Amino acid sequence: MSMNSPLVAEQSTVSVIMLKVLGALVPAIAVYVYFFGPAILVSITLASVAALATEAAVLYLRRYPLRVYLLDGSALVTAWLLALSVPPMAPWWMVVVGTVFAILVAKHLYGGLGNNLFNPAMVGFAALMISFPAHMTQWPAPEMLAQTHWSFTQQMDFVFGGMLPADSKLDAVTMATPLDALKTQLHLDREMTDIQSGKIFSTLSGKGTEIIALLYLLGGLFLWQQRIISWHIPLSFLAAMFGTAGLFYLFDSSQYASPLFHIFAGGTMLGAFFIATDYVTSPTTLLGKLIFGAGIGVCAYIIRVFGGYPDGVAFAVLFLNSAVPLIDAYTQPRVFGHARKWFKGSKE
């Protein structure tokens, strides 16, 4: 290739960006292990191996250079995000199936890195949610709340072989998530304050999970400080969810949880900083990012509170992913030297 200006460049690469994203997840994962045991590390490993193997196979078939594309780290990010969205107590093959589906269908059938319309991790998650809803709700109880304690080997026996330890039931180690608990109990006509006095609830949202959410938030702030993500999507996402939840809360606080609860519950923090901010599947204009984030915040709230699923972040992300081309097309910023225009196609 002949040389052409510019002849200098910043030395950052896609791999560096992806590595930083992975790094930003580490503290939250550490706390995850602390509260819920090391099973999550197994699912992250499974997902990583599955992602890299699938990626390698597809790259080979598509005759892409393996090394650079495997090292770009994007498959690992998908794997980790998916693993963190699937209960670590689910059978081992679930996270594998989800990852393969994510990489194969959501990423490569759309053209590979940079071309996918939907967030691969969320596509994998949605596929699992729809196909195996029961397994997808087997969330472990925080260790301090579990009725009995399974050893790591016992957990692995269950994950890999479906074997329950003698005289123990799955119920003994799993538990409804705060969001789930809220929903079922509200159906039983219980009052909010009453429900939230339950032992899984804590100051912000759920015991353990709220700390993990806080660390996702910190990881996200790190990415922002490193200029890997901009503030637009996370902030508009959180603000929109907070605002929507706030409205309902003001309207009837005995039926609707507080806005603070919502932004620290479920997949909100992970979604706001790590999932919705995925470059490839989010808008490129600043205004578009604000609309996108806000859209997810509102949709996620509506789905999780009024819909049939325990959480709404994944479906909200996918829904808004599909709107990205439209959002981008209608939010093109004013170009230097052109008059301001308020909508596409208006005269300049």
Name the site residues for another protein (rule: CB under 8 A): 1-14, 16-17, 59-60, 63-69, 72, 74, 112-115, 230, 279-280, 282, 284-285, 328, 332-338
Tell me the closest approach of the beta carbon of residue 182 to another protein, in angstroms.
36
Q: How far apart are CA 170 and CA 254, in angstroms?
A: 32
Tell me the closest approach of the beta carbon of residue 44 to another protein, in angstroms.
22
Before 65, cis peptide (omega within 30)? Answer: no
Tell me the closest approach of the beta carbon of residue 283 to another protein, in angstroms.
9
Half-sphere exposure of 39 (CA within 13 A, CB side): 30
**Which CB atom, from 283 or from 310, has the smaller least distance to another protein?**
283
Q: How far apart are CA 116 and CA 122, in angstroms?
A: 12
Q: What is the dihedral of CA 62, 64, 66, 68, to 10 degrees?
A: -140
Q: Which residues pair with 201 in a beta bridge?
A: 206
Q: How far apart are CA 233 and CA 283, in angstroms?
A: 9
**Which CB atom, from 66 or from 250, has the smaller least distance to another protein?**
66
Q: E strands of the chain, at which residues?
A: none
**Which CB atom, from 254 or from 284, has the smaller least distance to another protein?**
284
The one-character DSSP state at 226 is T
Angle at 234 between CA 314 and CA 72, to 5 degrees: 75
Helix (H, G, I), strand (E, B) or coil at 100: helix
**Which CB atom, from 6 or from 308, has the smaller least distance to another protein?**
6
**Which CB atom, from 16 or from 52, has the smaller least distance to another protein?**
16
**Which CB atom, from 209 or from 277, has the smaller least distance to another protein?**
277
Tell me the closest approach of the beta carbon of residue 184 to another protein, in angstroms.
40
Q: What is the dihedral of CA 176, 98, 112, 313, to 10 degrees?
A: -10
Tell me the closest approach of the beta carbon of residue 99 to another protein, in angstroms.
20
Q: Which residues pair with 206 in a beta bridge?
A: 201
Task: Return the closest-CA partner of residue 293 out of 267, 275, 266.
Answer: 275
Note whether 235 and 292 are within 8 A (CB): no
**Which CB atom, from 72 or from 180, has the smaller least distance to another protein?**
72
**Which CB atom, from 38 or from 114, has the smaller least distance to another protein?**
114
Tell me the closest approach of the beta carbon of residue 86 to another protein, in angstroms.
25
Tell me the closest approach of the beta carbon of residue 124 to another protein, in angstroms.
19
Q: How far apart are CA 114 and CA 83, in angstroms?
A: 21
Task: Return the closest-CA partner of residue 185 out of 262, 252, 138, 255.
Answer: 255
Tell me the closest approach of the beta carbon of residue 119 to another protein, in angstroms.
12
**Which CB atom, from 308 or from 345, has the smaller least distance to another protein?**
345
